[in-house]
Structure 1
Amino acid sequence: MPAERARGPRARMLMACALAACLLFGGALTAPPVLADNWQATLRNEGLPGKLVGVDKKHKTFHYFEKKSPLKLRYSYPCVTGQLDGDKQQVNDLKTPEGVYFVEYKIAGGLDFREYGGIAYTLNYPNPVDRLRGKTGHGIWIHSKGFDLVPTKGCVAIGLKDIAEVGPLLTPGTAVVLAEEFDAARQPAPDDGTAAELRGLMRDWSDAWAARSDALFDFYDAPAYSRATEDFGAFRRNKERLFKILSFIKIYNREIHALEGPGYWVTWSEQFYTASNLSTEGIRRLYWQKGDDGKFRIVGMEWTPRDVGMQADFKQGRLVAEAPRNVRTDAGGADPEMPVAPRLDMPEAPAVGAVAASAKPVAAASEQQPKAGPAIAAAAGEQLVAISDPLVPRKTPVAPPAEITWGSGRSMDARQGAPGAENAAPAVPAPPAPAETPATPPQEPAPAAATPQALTPAPQAAPVQEAPPAQEAAPEAFTAEDKAALARDVRAWNKAFAERSADIADFYDRKEYNRLPHALGVPRGPSYDSTMRALQREFRQPWMRVVEREPVLEYHYPVAVSRCEQMVVGPEGAVQGLRTLWWCKDADGEFRIVGSEFKHGEYGLAADYLELVSGEVSRAVEAWRKAWEGARVDDYMAYYTPDAVQGGRAGSRTIRSQKEGLWSRVKPTMVNLSGLRLAMDRRGIRADMTQAYADSAGRSDRGVKTLLLRYDGQGWRIQREDWAPEAPAR
């Protein structure tokens, strides 16, 4: 009986429903979510990488190629793949996926010898196109077998001697083509123009990015990208904001490679990114599919921070950017010349002298840069090893920036208009309640343990926006000079608030504060004395950080109003809302505050705060990693709070005792961190990352490390550390 008839009508109906669902929820503008079953790989002689693995599932053969002009087969071994035929679709289906993948890292210990032979090289399954097509599962590796080569649960396995020979060549980033058929004897075919087109598109994409141009977004298939990589709307909004903040972006690509997969293409390159906020290097991969209009668009993107030597070349002036091909900047003004090489002691270190001229969200406050102890500051010339993923937005309730942006800027104008000095902005978390909430004065917090220290001038505020006049009594009521003076006073008040300055009292009209007639639109609230006491309590915190957007001014003669979205962060947490100040001119012609109000609300300022502190947090995490890898107990423990919790160990003394005993017997040999993700937490900053570990006893593991970090006025300390090992799946 034929197989189809044997299934019966009910089975055929279920299959039809499944196919309809697949077609409904699969691809976007591009190829439908068909299976890659029986995919026969074809190599083109355009954009081939320097080394390549090809796996022929049908003939059970593993091939390793090196590009020696042309591509040459160096090794060929027998191999086994999944127990069932076809392209992998879901977890535990015992199939090996078909497509283009890349080696991620090596596992050198802790594996079952019979199953894995003791060594494995992980692949990036599922890749973005796999996710777009709804595939599930993970843990697809290239490994060996302890004894006989028997079919796997989905991996590719070769012999023990074979993996010992080819394994050292399977470095991170090596391309791996998994196909039903891969003809190693056939020479790469001439390019039909597609590979060359896609390599050019990646260059144009880089040029648009460097130009801070809206043309960048035309390269993406937005619906598909949202399903395969991240929400495209959040990605676009973040990029548009950064284009206005950053004064320059430069992108350097080495050779761009291209490979064809089943229904998609991948282009990738070693890439160096430098901007006014950070510099980093690694491997950039773009996944392309052709839409109904015949144009290729990006449906997925991957970024792997890695030391590829481009930073060193940049420092020595050996990197030369290609001239942009088709894109001109629309970020406002001409693209500036490359500045003096930034300090590259770590990928997320701000460039020396870089000033982020913010036009939108700005940091309104800046504390005195704390003097970090020897265990806090990274030594000059050191590099952060794959600790962050600066170009992929973090998936948090409030989407933080894709490219972590921090930096220093000019201080706000003083009340008299005198410019302030430039200072780097440090980190800090915020007060339990803001001052000047009209109906209910804030509750007094617990007495502060330390007297607030003087703060440096805050970064330059964005220009104050002026709202259209509403019901202005007469056009001449507020002159242009009045409006300019008020804008200066609003910036100066913000600066005094951020610096917790006692001079803030000079901005208030002590006699008229909260006493004007209701007809003028000024709300009644706490008295002047109550407001000053509330501000003093708020300023008594050991430290405080203010992040705000540009104020908006309104004029309703004889009252002017300033409104500003603002977040205040301190030791007890963070609060954000809309701060409104009402101003009137006094007898001396000076603007004074006659009313104030702070309404709590969600304005998405957490992302801006993360920009402000990300550099410090990543430096602290990297220094902690180095202390751990070097088994330096004192330096390692400098990053823990006294009440820290690490797994089942409570308190820094317990953690120290355990580490001293362990490291006297077995020492770490490798601690690698990648994909750092930061999110605001009620108690500080939560940092999640992938961690790979190995020690001198031959043990190794990989999983997700989560740190809860709190700022103590001097630096970031770990209050809680959790670990979740990554279990192999198929």
Structure 2
Amino acid sequence: MAFVNERRVYTPAIACVVVVFLFLACPGFARAGWHMNLQAEPHGPSQFLVVDKSAQTFYLFEQKSPLKNLAKIPCATGQVMGDKYREGDLKTPEGVYFVKSRLNGGLDYDLYGDLAFPLNFPNPIDIIKGKSGHGIWIHGRGHDVTPRETKGCIALNTPDIRDLDASIHFRMPVFIGERVTWSKGPSKINPEAKDVIEKTRQWAQAWQNQSEDFFELHDKKKFAIAQGESFARFENHKRKLFSRLPWIKVHIDHVAALPGPDYWVTTFRQIYRSPTFTSAGIKRLYWQKDDIGEFKIVGMEFEQLPLDRTVLASLEDNLASDASSRQLGTPSSSVKAQQSEARLVAENTTKPQAKKHVESGVQSTAPKPTPLVVAQNTVSSAPETPAASQLAETQRLPSTVTVDHNTTKPKPKPQHAKSDHPESKAKPVEQHDKKTTQLASNEKTTPPVKPVPKQSKPAKKKLDIVAVVDIVNGWSKAWQSADINTYLSYYSDDARQGRRRGKNAIKRQKTRLWESKPPTLVDVTELRVTETDSGCVASFVQEYAGVGVSARKGRKELFFKPINGSWRIVRETFERM
């Protein structure tokens, strides 16, 4: 059982309950700020954070019926009261935001303590309203917090944020308002929450149907402002894709509704598939009412999901559910989750023959399996291919996987010796009887040497696609969070990184850099894993940013070898784009 402590929070494992709460915005929001009235309601996240600016109080809530307050601790917000509108105004923004990442290294201890959670300010609504600024964090403090002492962030006492650490997770919603109240009554359904959730499902269905209704669900003017491109460009590109693709499948689940001061956000997991591309991620749609009171999409955000076994299993289940309707020619029975990636690759080579479809220079009728392409919300430089478009369903997510799928296996050769090291190679032996006999005759004191069969090379470590993708995802997360020990665990002792040679050299350079300029973003997209003779290579587009360091984008390659049964990075290269 969890309980509230004014200075410390003690929270055991919290069950996932898919419910949300009701926020009622008072009519005088523009002047008085956002007054949040919380109430349990059966749509949304199981946990959320709340900041009451007037009371300088930070809350952790769990959705039960009634609503349950798990933590109540003091906090500090911006020095100036009111909603944030421009950079440097010393105000804390008001609205619904989401945790983007976790930082626990290289921070100025007096200002931030040793732990921080950046938020996604400005969100699409903020951009529409013309708000400016960045770097709004929930962070610790090297001294006791005092009310309204920050430049816009939410500061907690370091012991308190450490206690909360286990309860704060990526994409967790954070509601910031001028004043907070909540009801202890039972769960109630909010009609507006029900409306935006239903419209979200209509949006997904219209997208899948390639229908005109898809475009009508958007507020064209506001959407263009939020996304930074004209709606005409967005629409034209969509129509171009609709004309190319024989079918599109859009599956959404875990749909939740979260209200803001004058808007709603629906958040959900999205799985998109077309004949040659597949994407999975968490999408957020931002909704506002138009002039006649109808909710329209005014902005969206998309965050990648790692291509792990859970996602692959979900994709496999989704494929199996409609395989017959798509006439893919794949078996109707489901296979094990660990074989999902193979089935997805197979799907790309069993498309209907009635309509030939060529994208990215790969023929759909090619005799060899086409690499699985998993798309994500990133912008690529080749607009003619769906994988390179600026649209959500065709932008790349890790990972593109290239694997040599042989149709026949070579006959195994007898092994007469085993290697103690996976990278070791058997020494060559003499194969001809005459030469062996001659060598023996020249050494009179040595007994005759019998012919020795040729030794087989040590068995090559089988490429586990999902394992390598998991490693790249873990490596990038460790880098972004400045977790030096976890980061170094992915490298071999003699790894080469640019001019640095060896793990110790890498450690010295990263430690110095992260002390003054800790990373804030490490984004991996367009991941391609290719098998090699000695292991594999992971190639991807990397975007990096740090405190005081502007975003840098380029192509990175990680060269892996199996060492002591595990994949380790032995070499790393980077070429700026």
Q: What is the TM-score with the length of structure 2 in the denominator?
A: 0.61
Q: Given that residues 305 and 389 in structure 1 are in contact (C-alpha distance below 8 angstroms), is that contact kept between their aligned partners in structure 2? A: no
Identical counterparts, % of pairs: 29
| 2:119 is the counterpart of 1:259 | no
- AA aligned opposite 2:107: L
- AA aligned opposite 2:317: G
Give, in whole Å, the separation in 1 of the partners of 2:103 and 2:169. 12
Q: 1:390 aligns with which of 376, 386, 394?
A: 376
Q: Which has the higher contact order (CA 8 A, sep 6+)?
A: 1
Q: Given that residues 46 and 195 in structure 1 are in contact (C-alpha distance below 8 angstroms), is that contact kept between their aligned partners in structure 2? A: no
| 2:40 is the counterpart of 1:42 | no
CA deviations 1:283-321 (Å, max 9, x no partner) are 110000100021110001001012487524325638998
Give, in whole Å, the separation in 2 of the partners of 1:363 and 1:213. 25
Give, in whole Å, the separation in 2 of the partners of 1:168 and 1:701. 28
Q: Given that residues 496 and 502 in structure 2 are in contact (C-alpha distance below 8 angstroms), is that contact kept between their aligned partners in structure 1? A: no
Q: 1:79 aligns with which of 60, 75, 79?
A: 75
Match of 1:230 in 2: 228
Match of 1:124 in 2: 120
Aligned runs of 1:496-515 on 2, under 5 Å?
Answer: none
Give, in whole Å, the separation in 2 of the partners of 1:90 and 1:171. 28
1:145 Cα deviation from its structure 2 partner: 1.1
Q: Given that residues 142 and 156 in structure 1 are in contact (C-alpha distance below 8 angstroms), is that contact kept between their aligned partners in structure 2? A: yes
Change (3 A) 1:623 1:60: closer
Give, in whole Å, the separation in 1 of the partners of 2:86 and 2:382. 27
Change (3 A) 1:354 1:137: farther
Question: Per the alignment, in what secondary structure is the counterpart of residue 268 of structure 1?
Answer: strand
Q: Given that residues 142 and 155 in structure 1 are in contact (C-alpha distance below 8 angstroms), is that contact kept between their aligned partners in structure 2? A: yes
| 2:142 is the counterpart of 1:146 | yes
Q: Given that residues 137 and 153 in structure 2 are in contact (C-alpha distance below 8 angstroms), is that contact kept between their aligned partners in structure 1? A: yes
Q: Is there any run of 5+ residues in structure 2 with no aligned partner, and where?
A: 1-26, 403-467, 477-486, 528-538, 558-571
CA deviations 1:645-684 (Å, max 9, x no partner) are xxxxxxxxxx244455514768899998436489xxxxxx
1:362 Cα deviation from its structure 2 partner: 5.3
Question: Per the alignment, in what secondary structure is the counterpart of residue 183 of structure 1?
Answer: strand
Change (3 A) 1:65 1:395: farther
1:105 Cα deviation from its structure 2 partner: 0.6
* Worse overlay, 341-350 or 254-263: 341-350
Match of 2:532 in 1: none
Give, in whole Å, the separation in 2 of the partners of 1:351 and 1:257. 31
Give, in whole Å, the separation in 1 of the partners of 2:89 and 2:520. 33
Give, in whole Å, the separation in 2 of the partners of 1:405 and 1:163. 36
Give, in whole Å, the separation in 1 of the partners of 2:162 and 2:251. 35
Change (3 A) 1:203 1:121: same
Change (3 A) 1:61 1:395: farther
- AA aligned opposite 2:36: A
Q: Is there any run of 5+ residues in structure 1 with no aligned partner, and where?
A: 1-31, 323-333, 372-376, 407-423, 427-617, 638-654, 679-685, 694-699, 711-716, 723-730
Match of 1:353 in 2: 349
| 2:529 is the counterpart of 1:707 | no
Match of 1:276 in 2: 275
Match of 1:8 in 2: none
Match of 2:161 in 1: 163
Q: Given that residues 542 and 556 in structure 2 are in contact (C-alpha distance below 8 angstroms), is that contact kept between their aligned partners in structure 1? A: no
Q: What is the TM-score with the length of structure 1 in the denominator?
A: 0.49
1:227 Cα deviation from its structure 2 partner: 0.4
Aligned runs of 1:309-458 on 2, under 5 Å?
Answer: 310-314=310-314, 317=317, 336=326, 340=330, 345=341, 351-353=347-349, 355=351, 390-391=376-377, 393=379, 400-402=389-391, 403-404=393-394
- AA aligned opposite 1:252: H
Match of 1:219 in 2: 217
Change (3 A) 1:396 1:317: closer
- AA aligned opposite 1:143: H
Change (3 A) 1:63 1:401: closer
Match of 1:11 in 2: none
Match of 2:249 in 1: 250
Question: Per the alignment, in what secondary structure is the counterpart of residue 37 of structure 2?
Answer: coil
Q: Given that residues 545 and 552 in structure 2 are in contact (C-alpha distance below 8 angstroms), is that contact kept between their aligned partners in structure 1? A: no
Give, in whole Å, the separation in 1 of the partners of 2:394 and 2:383. 17
Give, in whole Å, the separation in 2 of the partners of 1:703 and 1:347. 40
CA deviations 1:559-585 (Å, max 9, x no partner) are xxxxxxxxxxxxxxxxxxxxxxxxxxx
Give, in whole Å, the separation in 2 of the partners of 1:400 and 1:264. 28
Q: Given that residues 278 and 405 in structure 1 are in contact (C-alpha distance below 8 angstroms), is that contact kept between their aligned partners in structure 2? A: no
Match of 2:63 in 1: 67
Match of 1:209 in 2: 207
Change (3 A) 1:280 1:317: same
Give, in whole Å, the separation in 2 of the partners of 1:102 and 1:347. 34
Aligned runs of 1:50-61 on 2, under 5 Å?
Answer: 50-61=46-57
CA deviations 1:591-632 (Å, max 9, x no partner) are xxxxxxxxxxxxxxxxxxxxxxxxxxx99x969968987224
- AA aligned opposite 1:674: D
Question: Per the alignment, in what secondary structure is the counterpart of residue 303 of structure 2?
Answer: strand
Q: Given that residues 144 and 158 in structure 1 are in contact (C-alpha distance below 8 angstroms), is that contact kept between their aligned partners in structure 2? A: yes
CA deviations 1:156-184 (Å, max 9, x no partner) are 11222211111221101101100001114
CA deviations 1:537-571 (Å, max 9, x no partner) are xxxxxxxxxxxxxxxxxxxxxxxxxxxxxxxxxxx
Give, in whole Å, the separation in 1 of the partners of 2:303 and 2:344. 14
* Worse overlay, 182-191 or 665-674: 665-674
Change (3 A) 1:241 1:63: same
Q: Given that residues 65 and 185 in structure 2 are in contact (C-alpha distance below 8 angstroms), is that contact kept between their aligned partners in structure 1? A: no
CA deviations 1:316-362 (Å, max 9, x no partner) are 6389989xxxxxxxxxxx97367748986599989542559988985
Question: Per the alignment, in what secondary structure is the counterpart of residue 108 of structure 1?
Answer: coil
Q: Given that residues 141 and 155 in structure 2 are in contact (C-alpha distance below 8 angstroms), is that contact kept between their aligned partners in structure 1? A: yes
Match of 1:434 in 2: none
Give, in whole Å, the separation in 2 of the partners of 1:347 and 1:67. 38
Question: Per the alignment, in what secondary structure is the counterpart of residue 248 of structure 1?
Answer: coil
Change (3 A) 1:149 1:632: same
- AA aligned opposite 1:144: G
| 2:155 is the counterpart of 1:300 | no
Question: Per the alignment, in what secondary structure is the counterpart of residue 171 of structure 2?
Answer: coil
Give, in whole Å, the separation in 1 of the partners of 2:64 and 2:145. 31
Give, in whole Å, the separation in 1 of the partners of 2:343 and 2:233. 24
Match of 1:720 in 2: 575
- AA aligned opposite 2:215: F
Q: Given that residues 328 and 350 in structure 2 are in contact (C-alpha distance below 8 angstroms), is that contact kept between their aligned partners in structure 1? A: no
Question: Per the alignment, in what secondary structure is the counterpart of residue 106 of structure 1?
Answer: coil
Give, in whole Å, the separation in 2 of the partners of 1:673 and 1:90. 26
Q: Given that residues 143 and 156 in structure 1 are in contact (C-alpha distance below 8 angstroms), is that contact kept between their aligned partners in structure 2? A: yes
- AA aligned opposite 2:575: R
Give, in whole Å, the separation in 1 of the partners of 2:45 and 2:310. 18
Match of 2:565 in 1: none
Give, in whole Å, the separation in 2 of the partners of 1:84 and 1:347. 57
Q: Given that residues 265 and 288 in structure 1 are in contact (C-alpha distance below 8 angstroms), is that contact kept between their aligned partners in structure 2? A: yes
Match of 2:6 in 1: none
1:634 Cα deviation from its structure 2 partner: 8.1
1:206 Cα deviation from its structure 2 partner: 1.0
CA deviations 1:494-518 (Å, max 9, x no partner) are xxxxxxxxxxxxxxxxxxxxxxxxx
Q: Alignment length, in residue pairs?
A: 421
Change (3 A) 1:55 1:337: farther
Change (3 A) 1:400 1:320: closer
Give, in whole Å, the separation in 1 of the partners of 2:473 and 2:78. 42
Change (3 A) 1:391 1:160: closer
Match of 1:182 in 2: 180
Q: Given that residues 247 and 356 in structure 1 are in contact (C-alpha distance below 8 angstroms), is that contact kept between their aligned partners in structure 2? A: no
Give, in whole Å, the separation in 2 of the partners of 1:702 and 1:656. 21
- AA aligned opposite 1:66: E
Q: 1:630 aligns with which of 484, 490, 498?
A: 490
| 2:505 is the counterpart of 1:662 | yes
1:216 Cα deviation from its structure 2 partner: 1.1
Q: Given that residues 63 and 184 in structure 1 are in contact (C-alpha distance below 8 angstroms), is that contact kept between their aligned partners in structure 2? A: no
CA RMSD of aligned residues (A): 4.8
Aligned runs of 1:464-543 on 2, under 5 Å?
Answer: none
CA deviations 1:448-504 (Å, max 9, x no partner) are xxxxxxxxxxxxxxxxxxxxxxxxxxxxxxxxxxxxxxxxxxxxxxxxxxxxxxxxx
